[in-house]
Amino acid sequence: MTETASTTTTAGQGVGESARRPDAVLKVTGEFAYASDLWLDGMVWGVTLRSPHPSAWIRSIDVGPALKIDGVLAVLTHEDVPGVKFFGLDRRDQPVLAIDQVRYQGEPVALVAADHPETARRAAAAIVVDYEVRAAVTDPRQATDVVRHQPVRRGDTFEAEVVVTGEYEVGMQDQAFLGPESGLAVPAEDGGVDLYIATQWLHVDRDQLAPCLGLPHDKVRLTLSGVGGAFGAREDLSMQVHACMLALRLNRPVKIVYGREESFFGHVHRHPALMRYEHGATRDGRLVYVKADILLDGGAYCSSSPAVVGNAASLGVGPYEVPNVRVDATGVYTNNPPCGAMRGFGAVQACYAYESQMDRLAEACGLSPVEIRVRNAVSQGSRLITGQLIDAPAPLAGMLRDLESMPLPEGPPATDLRALPGGVSQTTRGEAVRRGVGYGVGIKNICFSEGFDDYSTARVRAELVGGEPHVTVHTAAAEVGQGLVTLQAQIARTELGIANVTVATADTAVGSAGSSSASRQSYVTGGAVRAACEAVRKRFDGLPAREALERFGPIEETREYRHRPTYPMDPVTGQGDSHTQLALCVHRAVVDVDVELGLVKVVELAAVQDVGRVLNPQALEGQIHGGSAQGLGLALMEEIQVRDGLVLNPSFTDYLIPTILDMPPMQTKILENPDPAAPYGLRGAGEPPTLSSTPAIAAAVRAATGLRLTRVPIRPEDIALFNNGEVSDGKRT
Amino acid sequence: MRVNGAAESLDVEPWVSLLDALRDRLGVTGPKKGCDQGACGACTVLADGVRINACLALAVQYDGKEITTIEGLATGDDLHPLQAAFIRHDGLQCGYCTPGQICSAVAMLAEHRAGMPSAVTERSGELDEAEIRERMSGNLCRCGAYNGIVDAIKDVAGQEAR
Ligand code: FES
Ligand code: FES
C-alpha cells in the first residue's frame, strides 16, 4: 500500500558528485507511490464542501439530504471536530471547518465520506448551507486588520541629487505543484491514527493535528508519502485533519485527493504585493537612501504571513549598501484567498520592485544596469539594512561582471516560427520583433529566521547486512523532488566510507527535521546526518567500518543539528541579526518581444550563483533551472486572477505555467565561496534563482519595448495596447 | 483491452475515463492525474503506440486496444532507453510528470521516425532541440526539469540515429 521508496543504493558516490537519485528508478518506472496512488482494502473516500462566497454568515447547515444518499457513510461539520477547532502555522486562527461564518471562497464547510468518490461529491453538493452574504474586504489598501507591520529604520538623510520613484505590483502566484493534495488516514487499534501524507513538514502537521483530533501526540503518527512537488504550498495543513476526523469517526481508512480545481482553493498562494519605492543617489549612482512601502495581501487567515512580512522588510532593498532606509512592510487580512509560503518567501515581491528601481536609477545616472549594481553591491563585511553584518563571502560585484562577460545568444530570429514569440500562435513574419536584455539580482535568507528554534534530527545506524557494511539514515525530512534523499546518502557514504546506504522513509518515529522550505534541508538535515555519522564513526574506534561492526555489532546514533541562532527584528527600527545565512543569485535575460502582438519569448537565461560548496552538481543545476522557470512564470504568465474575492482561473487551462517551449536554454556559472558556519561550507540553493529571474526578464522586456511595465506578470495587452508611441506605465486603465 | 501486454476485462460505465479505469479499477497507478482536463500531460499513455491523454479518453472507446503505460516500457529489469536517459540527465525532480513525459517521448520519437510533421514543421526535419521542445510541449513539468528532459530525449534520438 505504501511503498514510497526502496531507497537502497550501492553506487559509491559521495558529497560533491552527481550521485543518482535513489528513487529515480521507481520514478521512471511508475512504481513510486505518490500520496494520490495510495490504496487500502476497505478504504472510503472523503470529499470537502467549500464556501462559494468570500464572506458570509452561515445561518444553518442541513446535512440531511446528503445522508439520504446511498453509499454515504458520514457527513461532518465543525460540531464534529473532536478537539480544538482551529489550526494555523503561526496563529491558530483557521477553523478546521467553518464556524458560523466563511472568510474566503473555498473555505471548508463540511466533509462527506462515501464508498465512491463520485457518491461523496454528489452528497457534498446535496448539503444545504444557508449563507447570508456580507460585504467582503478584497482591496488590501482598504483593509484595517493588520497581520504584521515591520518597519526598518536607518540613518536620517532622505535627500539626494538623483531621485527615482516607482509604484509596482506583483500578482498572486500559485505553486501549482503537479501532484495534488492527497492523504490516506488509517485508524489504529490504540485509538490513534496513522496518516500517509504528501507534506513538507511532518512534525508541524502533527503538532497542529493532534490537538484538533483531541489526541496525544504519540497517537498521531505521520509517514511521508510520495510528494509531487511542494514549493511552499504544502507547508500549511490542507486535508490532514479532515481525513483523520473521518477515519476516526468511521473506524475505516479514508482517502482524500483534491482535483486540480480544488487544489487551487486547497492551499495558500504567494502574497500579491503593492509597493511604492523611492531611491535617492548621488549623480555617480551611489545610493544615499531608499524609502519603501510594501503591502502584502495575506488573505483570510494568518498562515505564515508574519514571517513573509519579516523577509520583505529585512531584504526589502536588496543586496545593496544603503546608509539611510525607511522601509515599511505590512501584511493585512482580507477576504481574498489565504497566502503563505512559496519558494522565495517574501523576498520575491520586493526583489522585483527594487530591481526595477535600480534600472531606473541606472538610466537617470547614465550608467549601465550592471554598473549601477556593481557600484552599490554588498560584499563580505557589509551590513544589511537591519544592521546585520554579512560575515560570509558575498561576491556580488564579481558575480555581475561574470554574468556580463558570458556570451550573448545570436539573434534576433529569422522567420522560423519555432523561434518567434508565440510560436504557432504567431500570425506575422516577425516584423515587429525586438530584442531586449535585462539583469536582475536577488538576496535570500537561508533557513528559518527571527529567533525560530530551527533544527533537524537524524538517526544513523551502521551494521553488517549479509556480511557487508550497511548504513540506514532515518530522518523526518520531506523529499519533495529537491533530491534530499540523494544528499543524505551521499553524506553517509562520505562520512562513513560505506557504499551501501538506505534512506528510510520519513516519518514521525524520529525527531523533527523542520520544513523542506527556506532552502534549509541541505544545511540543517544535512548537518544532522553528518553529525550522526560522525558520532557513529567515533564508535568505530579508529577501526575500518567492517572490522568495527564485526567487533562491536550494530552502531546507532541520533543527533540534532542547529544552525547559529537568529534574533527577532526590533519592532520599531527593524534592527537585529535576524538571518543566519544569505544567498545571492544574479540573472541575465535575453528576450524577443513582438511589440505589436505583445508576445514574449525568453531566448536565454544566464545565471551566476554562489552556493558555497557544490554537493551534487546535477541536482544543483536542476534547482537553478526550476527556480528560474518559476521566476519566468511570475514575470510573464502566472497569476491567480481574483475579482471581488472570487478566483477566476482555477485550472491549468487558465492559470498558465511555463511549458517546455517557454523554458529557454540556460548558461550557469556556479561559485564556491564557502560559508564557514555551514556544514561543508554549503549555501542553500533552491530559492535564490526564483528571485532574480523575474526582474531580469521584466527588465529585458522593458528594454525591448521601451515601456515602463510596473507590474508582473506582464500580460500581452500591457505591451500591445501601448505600442502606438504613447508613454505608458504598463498598467491597464 | 490489453494493458502492458496482459488481457484485462472490466465492466465500466460509459462515462469512466481511461485514466480512472487504469488507476482505480486496475490499480495501474503509473499514469498520473495532474488536471483531469487535458492540460498537463501527466496521464499520457500509449494506445496502440499512439500517445493520448488518458484523462480525456473514455475507457469504453479502447475496447480491444493495446494500452501501454509507464509500467509497460521496461523489459524485465532493463529500463527502456528513455527511462535510463531521464535518470542519466536528471530529467526529473518530484517525478510526478515523468510517467507522462516518458510515454510522450516514446511516441514522439516514433512519430518523428514515421515522418509525421509537428505543428510548426511541415515534414519531419532534424530532431534538434527546438523540434523536441515543439513536439513535447503538451507535457508540463512544474519542477522545471525541462532542460534535462530535452537532453535525455536528444541523447536517445542520437543513439537511434546511429
Ligand atoms: S491529467 Fe490528463 S492531461 Fe492532465
Ligand atoms: S519532475 Fe516534478 S513536475 Fe516534472
Mean pLDDT of A303-332: 98
Classify strands A44-50 and A254-257 as parallel, antiparallel or unpaired.
parallel
In the predicted structure, residue A9 carries a pLDDT above the cut 60: no
Q: Nearest C-alpha of chain B: how many angstroms from A64?
A: 28
Mean pLDDT of A317-334: 98
The Cα–Cα gap between A206 and A88 comes to: 12
Distance B41 CA to ligand 2 centre (A): 11
Classify strands A94-95 and A101-102 as parallel, antiparallel or unpaired.
unpaired
Nearest by CB to B36, from A31, A259, A627: name it: A259
In the predicted structure, residue A691 carries a pLDDT above the cut 60: yes
In the predicted structure, residue A728 carries a pLDDT above the cut 60: no
Continuous segment of H or E residues that includes residue A243: helix A240-250
Task: Say if CB A675 and CB A615 are below 8 A apart.
Answer: no
At A367-420, the pLDDT tens digits run 999 999 999 999 999 999 999 999 999 999 999 999 999 999 987 666 677 778
At A454-503, the pLDDT tens digits run 999 999 999 999 999 999 999 999 999 999 999 999 999 999 999 999 99
Hey, which of B94, B102, B147 would you mutate to test ligand 2's pocket, going by the most ligand atoms within 8 Å of its Cβ? B94
In the predicted structure, residue A727 carries a pLDDT above the cut 60: no
- Domain containing B157 equals 81-161
Q: Judge if ipTM > 0.95.
A: yes
Partner A, chain B 20-39, Cβ-Cβ below 8 Å? 23, 27, 29-37, 39
**Domain identity same for B114 and B144:** yes
* CATH T-level fold of A8-33+455-562: Aldehyde Oxidoreductase; domain 4 (3.30.365)
pTM for the model = 0.96
Distance A477 CA to ligand 2 centre (A): 19
The pLDDT, as a whole number, for residue B56 is: 98
Question: Which 3-state string (H, E, C) describes B51-103?
Answer: EEEHHHCEHHHHCCCEEECHHHCCECCECCHHHHHHHHCCCCCCCCCHHHHHH
The pLDDT, as a whole number, for residue A30 is: 98
From residue A337, alpha-carbon distances to A15, A241, A350, A370, A653 in Å are: 42, 20, 21, 38, 20
The pLDDT, as a whole number, for residue A730 is: 47
In the predicted structure, residue A733 carries a pLDDT above the cut 70: no
Q: Does A660 touch chain B (CB under 8 A)?
A: yes
CATH 3.90.1170.50 in chain A, residues? 44-135+176-266
Helix axes B98-113, B81-88, angle to 10 degrees: 120
Nearest by CB to A653, from B39, B130, B134: name it: B39
Nearest by CB to A34, from B69, B96, B130: name it: B96
Q: What is the CATH number of the domain that holds B19?
A: 3.10.20.30
At A102-136, the pLDDT tens digits run 999 999 999 999 999 999 999 999 999 999 999 99
Nearest by CB to B142, from A178, A259, A665: name it: A178
In the predicted structure, residue A558 carries a pLDDT above the cut 90: yes
> Could you state, in chain order, the average pLDDT of each consecutive group of 10 residues for chain B (162 residues)?
94 96 97 97 98 98 96 96 98 98 98 87 77 95 98 93 70
* CATH T-level fold of A273-448+572-720: Aldehyde Oxidoreductase; domain 4 (3.30.365)
Q: Does B3 touch chain A (CB under 8 A)?
A: no
Query: In the listed set B72, B91, B123, which residue is the last one of a domain according to the structure?
Result: B72
The Cα–Cα gap between A699 and A680 comes to: 36
Q: What is the CATH number of the domain that holds B92?
A: 1.10.150.120
Rg of the Cα atoms in chain A = 26
CATH 3.30.365.10 in chain A, residues? 8-33+455-562, 273-448+572-720
Continuous segment of H or E residues that includes residue A256: strand A254-257
Query: In the listed set B45, B72, B99, which residue is the last one of a domain according to the structure?
Result: B72
The Cα–Cα gap between B49 and B38 comes to: 19
**Domain identity same for B7 and B38:** yes
Q: Which residues of B touch A626 (CB under 8 A)?
A: 93, 143-145
At which residue does the C-alpha cell 549594481 appear? Answer: A373
Ligand nearest, relative to CA of residue A36:
1
A724: helix, strand or coil: coil
Q: Using alpha carbons only, what angle is made at residue A450 by residues A448 and A456, rounded to the nearest 5 degrees?
A: 30
Q: Does A658 touch chain B (CB under 8 A)?
A: yes
Ligand nearest, relative to CA of residue B144:
2
**Domain identity same for B67 and B90:** no
The pLDDT, as a whole number, for residue A3 is: 55
Q: Which residue from A687, A221, A201, A223 is spatially nearest to A480, judged by alpha carbons?
A: A201
Number of domains within chain B: 2
At A477-491, the pLDDT tens digits run 999 999 999 999 999
The pLDDT, as a whole number, for residue A6 is: 47
At A258-274, the pLDDT tens digits run 999 999 999 999 999 99
**Domain identity same for B58 and B94:** no
**A560-564, A596-600, A719-723, A729-733: least confident range:** A729-733
**Domain identity same for B68 and B99:** no
The pLDDT, as a whole number, for residue A2 is: 43
**Domain identity same for B66 and B116:** no
**Domain identity same for B14 and B64:** yes
The Cα–Cα gap between A619 and A631 comes to: 18
Distance B141 CA to ligand 2 centre (A): 4
At A182-217, the pLDDT tens digits run 999 999 999 999 999 999 999 999 999 999 999 999
The Cα–Cα gap between A20 and A486 comes to: 7
In the predicted structure, residue A529 carries a pLDDT above the cut 70: yes
Considering chain A, what is the average pLDDT of its residues? 95
Q: Nearest C-alpha of chain A: how many angstroms from B138?
A: 8
The pLDDT, as a whole number, for residue B125 is: 75
A552: helix, strand or coil: helix
**Domain identity same for B85 and B155:** yes
The Cα–Cα gap between A287 and A622 comes to: 35
Query: In the listed set B72, B101, B119, which residue is the last one of a domain according to the structure?
Result: B72
* Residues 6 or more apart whose Cβ sits within 8 Å of residue A711: A168, A169, A170, A171, A718, A730, A731
Contact A663 B147 (CB under 8 A): yes
* Chain-centroid distance, C-alpha A537: 35
State which ligand 2 atom lies nearest to the alpha carbon of A179. 3
**Domain identity same for B58 and B93:** no
Q: Does A22 touch chain B (CB under 8 A)?
A: no
The Cα–Cα gap between A136 and A336 comes to: 9
* CATH T-level fold of A44-135+176-266: Aldehyde Oxidoreductase; domain 3 (3.90.1170)
Q: Is B92 in the pocket of ligand 2 (CB under 6 A)?
A: yes
Q: Is B149 in the pocket of ligand 2 (CB under 6 A)?
A: no
Partner B, chain A 105-134, Cβ-Cβ below 8 Å? none
